[in-house]
Amino acid sequence: WMAMVILPLLLLLVPLAAAQWSSCSKSDDYKSNSTYVANLSLLSSTLPKKAASSTTLFATSIMGNFPDIVYALTLCRGDSNASACESRVTTAFQDLLRLCPYKKNAAVYYDPCMLKFSNKNFLATTTVNDPLFIVNTKNFTTNADITQRLLFTLINSMAQLAANSLRRFTTSRLDVGSSPTLYCLMQCMPDLIPHDCESCFQDILNSTLEYLGGKQGGRVLGTRCYMRYEMYPFFQGDPKLRIINLAPHVPTINNTTTPATVYPQSQPPDAAPPPEGKVTVQEHNGSYLGLYLE
């Protein structure tokens, strides 16, 4: 088991709309007329097209030179299409410049895509990094042991399949006896080799069991990989994998992450940003909380 590595970033997490989140660094500001702005502008005009023209709907780019260099990464979900990808990434740039003004380090997560840019090189990392946990406040009615086995079976069964696919992406449906039916989507960045992708998913598995256990739905959103599961279908097309057997037990998890803090939803998505370090979120199907590792 691979322990999750958490970078000590201080972020302001801002809800955009249903199932959309952004994060902004507290430091490393740029000026409105700086070279950094010009480099961001160039990226915003080239990265969406670059991602849309890729068979994996994924792109990275480096623009400019120190101290105004910008590193950027974007990924559209494996069940997206090229035109929707280009449009969403274009919108993501617009959102980040509006929601994280003058911040050199910013990221946004939508259901169909994510975008991150920074003045620091994060492109070489292979771990989850500064993850955001989104959890449904509703609990399973089954006992804790069964729910942990359900989540372990779900993610563990999908990891290798996703890691070895072209887009590093897969979906599944879990049907095991009288247990709740679960739907899951997992994806990592296509530039990761399968081994590193599986390791990233192991980080997600560890954290899911620790922080999302017992919940009817949840997500782990990271820079290099992410996962979402629900009790209802939420992705395009039929599941690529159907799981009908439950793991007999859950192995001991060696998780050395910083304890997560839970912040309950207290305002609608279009309200003012929450206090620093906190997150409020809303989901169209079920009540959610945000968890952020501080």
pLDDT 10s digits, 69-123: 999 999 999 999 999 999 999 999 999 998 899 999 999 998 889 999 999 999 9
Beta-sheet strand order (sheet of 241-243): 241-243, 169-174, 182-188, 225-230, 218-221, 132-136, 288-293, 260-264
* Phi-psi region at 170: left, alpha or beta (left = phi > 0; alpha = psi -120 to 50): beta
- Listed by start position, the domains of the chain span 20-118, 132-246+274-293
- Out of 3.30.430.20, 1.10.287.3510, 3.30.70.270, 3.30.565.10, the CATH code matching 20-118 is 3.30.430.20
Do 20-118 and 132-246+274-293 come out as alike in CATH topology? yes
- 99 Cβ contact list (under 8 Å, min separation 6): 14, 16, 22, 24, 106, 108
Q: Measuring CA to CA, which residue among 67, 19, 63, 22 is closest to residue 41?
A: 63
Biggest CA-to-CA distance, the chain: 61
Helices H / strands E in the chain, number of each: 4, 14
Are the CB atoms for 181 and 213 separated by under 8 Å?
no
Domain 132-246+274-293's class? Answer: alpha beta
Amino acid identity of 62?
I
**pLDDT mean over 13-28:** 64
Of the ranges 91-95, 209-213, 283-287, which one carries the lowest mean pLDDT score? 283-287
Fill in the DSSP letter of residue 225.
E
pTM: 0.81
Of the ranges 61-65, 90-94, 242-246, 254-258, which one carries the lowest mean pLDDT score? 254-258
